[in-house]
C-alpha cells in the first residue's frame, strides 16, 4: 500500500468526522437532536497497515438533552427511554425525541415536519382504547349532553315542624312557603343544551318521614298518570335513610327535545337535628367550542371548551427499541425502524422500560458545544496532517520521476 493511499484514506476518514462534528454543532439548539459519534478502524493488507476507515457512526441515545420549559401546552419531553411515534403518511411510522408539537387547521396534533403524533384514542364513553394507534387530535366542538344525574348531599332537620299533608285544606304550592319545609334548586340541561330549573321541595309529614315534590321551570312535575309526583323518604331512629335505597327519579316531557330523565342518588341524605343543608352537582352541559388543549404527565390529552367542560381526547404512545443505534436516521431527529433496531415495543409513559413525560417542556439537543469544538480542532489537525502526507507523496513522486 502506497503512502499516497494511506494519506488518502486518512483524509477521507477525517472528512467524514468533520462532517459529523459540523452537524452536531449546527444542531446544538435543535429539539430532540442526538449527537453523532464517529468511530474508526485500521485497514490492513495482509499484515501490513494500509490506512484507516470509518467503522461507523452512532447517535448518543443514552445521553439526554436539557429540558426547556415553554408556554406551549403541546410541548412534551421524554425523560428516559422512548420515542414519540409519528405517522409517516404511507402506512409506516417514524420515531422522534423532538417533543415540540402544535395543532394544524384540522385540530390534529402534529410535529414540526407536519407528521401526525400517534397515540391511543377514546371510545364513545371517553375511555382510552389501548393497543390501537391512531392520529391524535381534538374535537373542534362537543354536542350538548342532557342532565341524567344530580349528585346530592343533604341533611333534613329532624326538629323541623311537621306539616299535615293529609288535611283536606293542604295543597302543595311551590309559591307558598308554608306548604313545605325546605327547597333546593338545580340547573339542568336538555338534549339541545338549553338550561332548565329543577327544584326539590321537602315536606316533613311525620316522625322520620318526608315527602318530596318537584317543579321544572316553575311547573309542578307530574307522574305518568298526570298526578303530582310525590316521593317519600323514610329514616330510622339514628337519622339514616332507610327508603328508598338507591335514587329518586324525575322525568319530564319538553317541547322539541328529548324528555328529561334524571336520577338523584339518595345515599348522602340524612336526618339529624341540625340545620338544613344541601349541595347539588348536576351533570350535563351545553354545546361547546374548542378553547384550549393540555397534556398531562402520563400523556393524556385533554381539550377544554368554552362551556367549561374538559374532555379526554386520547393518550400519547411511546416506542422503545432493543437496539436504538440500529435505527435508520432520516436526519438528526427522525428515525425509522430496521431489522437491526428490532421492532418497536409500544406502551405509555412510565410503563415497562419507557421513560416519563414532562408537559410544557421539550428535550433540547444533547450536543456539548465545548466538547465538539475541541473535537473539531483535533479533526482539523488530523485532516491537515493527512493532507501533508499526500503533499509529501506528490513531492516524492515528482523527485522519483525527475531522477529517471
Mean pLDDT of 10-37: 73
Whether the predicted pLDDT of 213 surpasses 90: yes
Q: What pLDDT is recorded for position 170?
A: 95
Cis peptide before 80 (omega within 30 of 0): no
Which residues does residue 122 pair with via DSSP β-bridges, in sequence order?
128
Q: What pLDDT is recorded for position 34?
A: 84
User: Between these two residues, 329 and 368, which has the higher pLDDT value?
Assistant: 329
Reported confidence tier of residue 1, pLDDT bands at 50, 70, 90: very low
Do residues 339 and 364 touch, judged by C-beta distance below 8 A?
A: no
Which residues does residue 49 pair with via DSSP β-bridges, in sequence order?
44
Do residues 367 and 37 touch, judged by C-beta distance below 8 A?
A: no
Mean pLDDT of 38-50: 60
In the structure, how many helices (H) and strands (E) does the chain have?
2, 31
Residue % of the chain over a pLDDT of 90: 70
**What confidence tens digit (pLDDT) does each residue in 342-373 have?**
999 999 999 998 999 999 999 998 887 677 66
Q: Are strands 328-329 and 334-336 parallel, antiparallel or unpaired?
A: antiparallel
Within 10 Å of residue 55's Cβ, how many Cβ atoms? 12
Reported confidence tier of residue 8, pLDDT bands at 50, 70, 90: low
Cα 318 to chain centroid, rounded: 12
Residues contacting 332, CB < 8 A, separation 6+: 23, 27, 30, 33, 34, 36, 59
* CA separation, residue 359 to residues 69, 75, 349, 374 (Å): 9, 6, 12, 34
Using alpha carbons, select from 93, 138, 139 the residue that is nearest to residue 115. Answer: 93
Q: What pLDDT is recorded for position 151?
A: 97
Q: What pLDDT is recorded for position 380?
A: 67
Residue entry with cell 420515531: 95
Do residues 382 and 10 touch, judged by C-beta distance below 8 A?
A: yes
Provide the whole-model pTM: 0.77
Which residues does residue 69 pair with via DSSP β-bridges, in sequence order?
361
> How does DSSP assign 374-396, residue by residue?
HHHHHHHHHHHHHHHHHHHHHHH
Whether the predicted pLDDT of 130 surpasses 60: yes
Cell, residue 378 = 483535533
**What confidence tens digit (pLDDT) does each residue in 135-194 have?**
999 999 999 999 999 999 999 999 999 999 999 999 999 999 999 999 999 999 999 999
Q: What is the mean pLDDT of the chain?
A: 88
Amino acid at each position: 500500500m502506497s503512502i499516497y493511499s494511506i494519506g488518502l484514506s486518512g483524509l477521507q476518514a477525517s472528512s467524514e468526522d468533520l462532517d459529523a462534528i459540523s452537524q452536531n454543532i449546527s444542531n446544538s439548539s435543535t429539539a430532540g437532536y442526538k449527537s453523532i459519534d464517529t468511530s474508526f478502524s485500521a485497514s490492513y493488507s495482509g499484515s501490513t497497515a494500509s490506512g484507516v476507515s470509518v467503522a461507523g457512526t452512532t447517535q448518543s441515545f443514552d445521553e439526554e438533552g436539557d429540558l426547556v420549559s415553554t408556554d406551549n401546552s403541546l410541548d412534551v419531553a421524554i425523560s428516559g427511554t422512548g420515542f414519540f411515534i409519528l405517522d409517516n403518511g404511507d402506512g409506516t411510522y417514524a420515531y422522534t425525541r423532538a417533543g415540540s408539537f402544535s395543532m394544524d387547521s384540522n385540530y390534529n396534533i402534529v410535529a414540526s415536519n407536519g407528521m401526525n403524533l400517534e397515540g391511543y384514542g377514546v371510545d364513545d364513553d371517553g375511555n382510552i382504547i389501548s393497543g390501537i394507534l391512531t392520529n391524535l387530535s381534538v374535537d373542534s366542538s362537543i354536542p350538548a349532553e342532557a342532565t341524567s344525574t344530580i349528585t346530592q348531599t343533604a341533611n333534613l332537620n329532624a326538629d323541623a315542624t311537621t306539616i299535615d299533608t293529609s288535611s283536606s285544606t293542604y295543597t302543595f304550592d311551590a309559591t307558598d312557603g308554608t306548604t313545605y319545609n325546605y327547597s333546593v334548586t338545580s340547573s339542568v340541561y336538555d338534549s339541545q343544551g338549553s338550561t332548565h330549573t329543577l327544584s326539590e321541595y321537602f315536606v316533613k309529614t311525620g316522625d322520620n318521614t318526608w315527602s318530596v315534590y318537584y317543579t321544572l321551570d316553575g311547573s309542578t312535575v307530574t307522574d305518568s298518570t298526570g298526578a303530582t309526583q310525590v316521593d317519600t323518604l323514610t329514616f330510622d331512629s339514628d337519622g339514616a335513610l332507610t327508603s328508598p335505597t338507591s335514587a329518586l327519579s324525575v322525568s319530564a316531557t319538553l317541547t322539541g327535545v328529548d324528555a328529561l330523565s334524571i336520577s338523584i342518588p339518595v345515599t348522602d341524605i340524612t336526618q339529624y337535628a341540625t340545620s338544613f343543608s344541601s349541595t347539588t352537582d348536576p351533570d350535563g352541559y351545553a354545546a361547546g367550542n374548542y378553547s384550549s388543549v393540555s397534556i398531562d404527565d402520563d400523556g393524556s390529552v385533554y381539550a377544554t371548551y368554552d362551556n367549561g367542560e374538559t374532555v379526554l381526547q386520547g393518550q400519547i404512545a411511546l416506542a422503545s427499541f432493543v437496539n436504538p443505534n440500529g435505527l435508520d436516521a432520516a436526519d438528526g431527529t427522525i428515525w425509522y425502524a430496521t431489522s437491526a433496531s428490532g421492532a418497536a415495543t409500544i406502551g405509555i409513559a412510565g410503563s415497562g422500560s419507557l421513560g416519563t413525560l414532562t408537559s410544557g417542556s421539550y428535550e433540547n439537543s444533547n450536543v456539548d458545544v465545548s466538547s465538539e469544538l475541541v473535537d473539531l480542532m483535533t479533526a482539523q489537525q488530523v485532516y491537515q496532517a493527512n493532507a501533508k502526507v499526500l503533499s509529501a507523496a506528490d513531492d516524492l513522486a515528482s523527485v522519483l520521476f525527475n531522477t529517471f
